[in-house]
Every structure is written in C-alpha cells, then in structure tokens.
Amino acid sequence: MSQDQTDSKLARSHISAWLADEGDTRSGARRGKLYELVVLGELIGGPHHGYVLREILGKIFGPFRQISWGALYPLIHRLERQGLITPEASNLTSQGKSGQRNLYRITPAGHERFQALIAEAVPYSVYDSDYFIAKLGYFDHISLEHQRAIVQHHRGYLQAVIDYLQTNLQHVMANQDIPERERWRIRWVVEFRLSRVQAEMAWVDTALDRLTSNAG
C-alpha cells in the first residue's frame, strides 16, 4: 500500500474525529485535582458549606459537567484528612427547616497546596480549557508573574491546537483519494473549530498585553 493510500485510509476512517471537539482529555485523577483547586480557591475567599461548593463548581464548568455528591464529599473528606481544610458545625435554615451542617475553612497547609496547584503547568496531553477557566477565577490570589505564566501556558496550548488543525486540514484537502464532498465537509467542520480557537487566542493575546502593561 502506498503512502497516499495509507493517508487516505486513515483520513477517511477518522472522519468522526474531525466532527468531534477536543473532548474531555482529563483522567479521573486530573479531574480531582481540578476540583481540588476550585474548592481550595473558593475557601480562600471565605468559609462555605458543601452544597455551596457544589453550586460554585457547577457554575464554573457549566450545566453539563455537574459534579456529583459522590465525587464532592470524598474530595472534601480527603482534604480534611490531609489537613488542607477544617470543618466546623454550623446551624443552617433551609425551606423552614433547621439543622447542622459543616462549614469548611481552609488551613495554612491548604493555602500552600492551592498555590502549588495553580502554579502547576499541566501537560498539554491532559490539558483542556477548564484548567484555564478555573485558574483565571483566582488571579487575585496570585502574583502578576504567575498570572502571566498561566495565560502564556494556555496560549501555547491554543497555538498547538491551531497548528494541528491547520496542518492536518492541508493534508486532507490535498489528498485526492478522499472524495471531494468528504474533503469539503471536513474543511467546513475544521474551519468552525479554528474560528473558536482563534477567537480565544485573540482574547488571550489581549489579556497578555494588559498584564504586561500592569507589570510596567
């Protein structure tokens, strides 16, 4: 089989990949670290009940990525065991009913853990925009230098996505073994994906300019 035939077979067998988005590339462990970052970041701003933390996570990641109680409370209990947060009983009234629920506060060790998580440059192989969105919300808790590093890291990710899409689209469009109708369908989808990433890149470049001006 020639190289062109191999390329054609691969391209045609992966049409669905072009029609899909980047998807959720994070492992369960990585997702747990992302949630940990948000929980600690929110508690830096003040103590919260568990149900409030769940609502905040839902608002950050959108309506289709809600964290379940089965994921949140094991995370909270782990943070307690590690000494990163501490609970205290508090009275709570909801819908006319009173009861006690734990109010969680961050500890000095939790502050250190938050700083380590937000400064971590997550490898692009397990990275997606959720990391950037989560970190962006806590810029008031970190230095300007760390802010710029986070934005620059995200820019590198976006550039890698753009390069990947453009290069592979050129290969597909140049491959005459792929039916013309199929090639144009792929181009239509990839151009849509590129438009989204390029719009985000423009926002990131503006943010970097602003951070550079603030540094001056």
Domain assignments of the chain as residue spans, ordered by start:
1-23+128-216, 27-121
Side-chain-side CA neighbours of 132 within 13 Å: the count stands at: 21
Rounded to the nearest 10 degrees, how much is the dihedral formed by the CA atoms of 111, 124, 77, 99?
Answer: 80
- Per-run averaged pLDDT (10 residues), the chain, 216 residues: 52 50 56 90 92 87 76 92 92 56 94 96 90 93 95 97 94 90 92 96 96 82
The pLDDT score that the predictor gives to residue 141 is 94
The pLDDT score that the predictor gives to residue 25 is 46
The architecture (CATH level 2) of 27-121 comes to Orthogonal Bundle (1.10)
CB neighbour list of residue 185: distance below 8 Å, 6 or more residues apart: 15
The pLDDT score that the predictor gives to residue 96 is 52
Where is 92: in which H helix or E strand?
A: strand 85-94
pLDDT digits (tens, 9 = 90+) for 28-45: 667 788 999 999 999 999
pTM here is 0.81
Terminal-to-terminal C-alpha distance of the chain:
59
Provide the residue type at 93 as one letter: T
